A and B are shown apart, each in its own frame.
Chain A
Amino acid sequence: MALDKAAVAHIATLARIRLSEAELEPLAEELSHILTWVEQLNEVDTSGVTPMAGVTATRLPMREDEVTDGGCREEILGNAPRTARGFFVVPKVVE
């Protein structure tokens, strides 16, 4: 699959990574190269094969729904770039 500049810009928006106009062309080339290479998987007949998401048992273990941790707001906020009155601070998102 060959990706063009517009496709790369779209993916970058989905991934929330800002790219400059100058970065789009080289990235389109690199990503197309990688995608063409992985497409060799199309040679493999996988009909009837169940996709494998992981190697462990498919059923996740259950536990009691109890509070086992918490009460550490200050420690968590301690790593935040901006906080105020016990909250993370971001620009206004609701008009």
Chain B
Amino acid sequence: MSEGSLLALTLAEARDGLARKAFSARELAIAYNKAVKEAEPLNAYITPTPERALAMADAADQRLAQGKPLPLDGIPIAVKDLYCTKEVLTTAGSHILDGFRPPYESTVTAKLWRSGAVMLGKANLDEFAMGSSNTTSYYGPVENPWRRPEDNRPLVPGGSSGGSAAAVAARAALAATGTDTGGSVRQPASFCGIVGLKPTYGRCSRWGVVAYASSLDHPGPMTRTVRDAAILLRAMAGHDPRDSTSAAVPVPDFEAALTGDVRGLRVGIPQEYRAEGMPGEIESLWQQGVEWLRAAGADPVEISLPMTKYALPTYYIIAPAEASSNLARYDGVRFGLRVEGGSLDEIYELTRAAGFGAEVRRRVLIGTYVLSAGYYDAYFLKAQRVRAMITRDFVSAFERVDCILTPTAPSAAFAIGEKSEDPIAMYLNDLFTVPANLAGVPAISVPAGLSDDGLPLGLQITGRAFDEETVLRVAEVLESAAQFRHLPSFIAGGHS
């Protein structure tokens, strides 16, 4: 097979091709190593690991030759640079982790390698996963492989898993890991025309993933198809005694849930998402999604999630509060950057001033404030109470419906620098994704159509806790109906 056609395969197709020896894991790894190089202008990777990829591919080829393949043998993936990878530079997109080579491997990546997956490198991201445009990385912004027709301005890939999304869309990775604290898997998936799944809280271990907001952080897969997301999630999921919030529940064969049959399923359409000022193109794609599911035999039902409008402000209290506590560990003493000072306090203050970018600093300060004496009840506890009410909204909705259909994001990708002036304008990107993080329920973004200016738009399916199977099944039906076959302006290997 030509390298271009190897890169065009989905994960499921590559797995099957490897199993019938149509090509080797080494050939696939070589093609992807070249693709990573070709995609350099996108800045999707912070640290490519081409030699490791070849060594892992060779090991996979040996197992394949012995007829004992592992579930992901030879599948080349990008790892968001928030996952600690043993002895491989792990930056979290921050200056403050300069030179950090973890002496341990995150649980999720360890599981992937045990399943035979091949590491292509560490993908760029917003600093400490704080951002919706991948412009806050110390290693520079990531470019979306998509461009508006007749407009050459580079666009953001979304964030914070922007490098992962750009790499998968540009065929510089077959799949990738991401993390989603307020939409960081689903919003970049929507912006780059790929699939992104945030599983249930507790489904994938957070151990070894650099913490942003621990009660909201979710590792999840980013892939080209829904089937690929089902395959990758199975390998990432499972109970981990090292993460006390990891759920001791069995991991189903998610791929087996893709039956294509959604007849009789009740799909909730929350009226509150018709926010004022929702662009017409988003509204009509959403309506189209309703029609697709109806045509497949599902039963759309109007529902109400009355607390929706409070999800974002709730998030912007809880997430910074947890972040200010989690990021206290960056002190210039044990790892990463250190700026010398006359006293210990001065080392802390100078190191953190030099090491944190503007958005991280902003969130740490907000978090410190809402947790400080005299404001804790008014802000932090208040937000935690509203969070309980938002979760209750979902619980009551799921008494009436089996899943919920909404748009993923209120817009398509925008140009780099187009809207970063006002932090709140940037926060609004996560309007439709944040509620699922607060409630911990699974949600997926599926590419469903193009905006008026020719950019991908995603639809989101949200489900009951630990019912990723329904989420994936409905998502696959949407995917089949949408027949999204458009390609970005840049793909590695070229357009054939």
Contacts and interface: CB of A to CB of B under 8 A. Distances in A.
Contacts of B391: 52, 55
B202 to A, nearest CB: 5
B202 A38 contact: no
Interface in A46-84: 46, 49-56, 60-61, 63, 72, 75-76, 78-82
A27 B335 CA distance: 28
A46 B344 contact: no
22 contacts: A3-B369, A14-B368, A16-B348, A16-B349, A18-B352, A27-B365, A30-B362, A30-B423, A34-B366, A34-B423, A37-B316, A44-B310, A49-B388, A54-B245, A55-B391, A56-B247, A78-B101, A78-B103, A81-B332, A81-B336, A90-B344, A91-B347
A3 B370 CA distance: 12
B297 interface: no
B365 A41 contact: no
Contacts of A14: 368, 372
A18 B353 contact: yes
Nearest to B317: A38
Interface of A: 3, 8, 11-12, 14-19, 27, 30-31, 33-35, 37-42, 44, 46, 49-56, 60-61, 63, 72, 75-76, 78-82, 88, 90-91, 93
Task: Give chain B's interface secondary structure class.
Answer: helix
Contact of A80 (B248, B334, B341, B347): B334
A52 to B, nearest CB: 4
Interface in B379-427: 379, 381-389, 391, 423-424
Interface string B341-359: 1111111111011001000
Nearest to A61: B244
B365 A17 contact: yes
Nearest to B382: A41
A49 B314 CA distance: 15
Interface in B450-487: 465
Interface of B: 99-103, 201-202, 214-215, 241, 244-245, 247-248, 307, 310, 313-314, 316-317, 324, 328, 331-338, 341-350, 352-353, 356, 361-362, 364-366, 368-369, 372, 379, 381-389, 391, 423-424, 439-440, 465
A37 B344 contact: no
A18 to B, nearest CB: 4
A46 B362 CA distance: 27
Given A11-B368, A78-B101, A88-B333, 8 more contacts: A15-B364, A17-B353, A41-B313, A44-B385, A53-B215, A63-B241, A79-B102, A79-B336
B333 A50 contact: no
Contacts of A61: 241, 244, 248
Nearest to A75: B103
A17 to B, nearest CB: 5
